[in-house]
Amino acid sequence: MSQLLAGRTIVVMGVANERSIAWGIARSLHRQGAQLIFTYRKERSLEKLTKLLASSGIEAKLVVSCDVSDDSSVVAAFDRIGAEAGVIHGVVHSLAFADKDDLQGEFVDTTREGYRLAQDSSAYSLVAVAREAKKWMTEGGGIVTQTYLGAERVMKNYNVMGVAKAALEASVRYLAEDLGKYGIRVNAVSAGPIRTLAAKGVSGFNDIMTAIEEKAPLRRNVDQEEVGDATMFLLSDLSRGITGEVLHVDSGYHIMG
């Protein structure tokens, strides 16, 4: 089969290191011929990304700084991306943030500031990114974000992030309606637990992974490659009839009672 994303330019946001889900996605998009633009926040992430690109032989079209909790940074990043690429065909939003203290104990103790921070970085950021990206998505395309089952159900310790992911999934639906008329599809992948930097912040993460091995239909956890391929599918024409969807890549765990 010919490459599914040949001639497409896709922006990948959220590579912090080799374990990042965004890096699994980037590799999958690269295999299908996409040209990649990366955004990062911390200088440390830029250093890691630069090394990963060199060792993997993936050539980035552009690497640009973007703090999604700052509107001017999002606008500046997409202005640069647009100036460089002209047209973009896809965006991968693979980022989230909450205070570690809010990812343990009881949700009822969440502070106003902790709630605001999680919503702002993890849910509103998709809205800001979609608004800026749309200006350059003149040929249509796809936007895909990463969510988690804690949006739908109470998962121990996930707390404030579960509520942020619920807002993120609702945002996917509202954005899908707004952007559908421009041929832009907006979807989410709901991944099972994967050991990453962000996952380290969630208390009791090992227990969650063990529960999947015991209870999920596939009796194993998923990896970055599997999430990468599903995200690639949602950015490719193979999924051209799908928008506003949350696709679970979790060994089927979400169907279990």
Task: State the minimum distance, in angstroms, from the CB of residue 16 to ligand NDP.
Answer: 4
Which token pair is 209? 């992974």
Residue from 18, 67, 84, 99 in contact with ligand NDP (CB under 6 A): 67
Residue whose CB is less far from ligand NDP, 4 or 164? 164
193 binds ligand NDP (CB under 6 A): yes
96 touches ligand NDP by CB under 6 A:
yes
Q: What are phi and psi of 231, to 5 degrees?
A: -65, -40
Side-chain-side CA neighbours of 238 within 13 Å: the count stands at 14
CA distance 65 to 143: 19
158 assigned to active site: yes
When the beta carbons of 207 and 237 are compared against ligand NDP, the nearer one is 207
Active site residue 182: no
User: Quick one: which of 8, 12, 14, 90 contacts ligand NDP (CB under 6 A)?
Assistant: 14
Residue 110 neighbours by CB distance under 10 Å? 19
Q: Where are the beta strands (DSSP E) in 87-245?
A: 90-93, 141-147, 184-191
- Spell 205-226 as b/e; 16+ CB within 10 A means b: beebbeebeeebeeeebbbbeb
Binding mask 194-233 for ligand NDP (x = CB under 6 A): x-xxxx----------------------------------
**Kind and range of the H or E run holding 205:** helix 205-215
Using the contact rule CB under 6 A, the part of the chain among 52-60, 92-100, 108-116, 133-141 near ligand NDP is: 92-100
Give the binding range for ligand NDP (CB under 6 A) out of 10-18, 54-62, 131-139, 173-181. Answer: 10-18
Phi-psi region of 255 (alpha: psi -120 to 50; beta: other; left: phi over 0): alpha
SS3 content of the chain, % helix, strand, coil (to 5): 50, 15, 35
64 binds ligand NDP (CB under 6 A): no
Exactly one of 69, 104, 138, 203 binds ligand NDP (CB under 6 A); which one?
69
Considering only residues 117 through 136, tell me which ones interact with ligand NDP, judged by CB under 6 A.
121
Mark residues 15-54: x for contact with ligand NDP by CB under 6 A, - for none.
xx--xxxx-----------------xxx--x---------
**Do the beta carbons of residue 12 and residue 65 sit within 8 Å?**
no
* Contacts with ligand NDP, residue ranges (CB under 6 A): 14-16, 19-22, 40-42, 45, 66-69, 94-97, 121, 146-148, 191, 193-194, 196-199
Catalytic residues: 148, 158
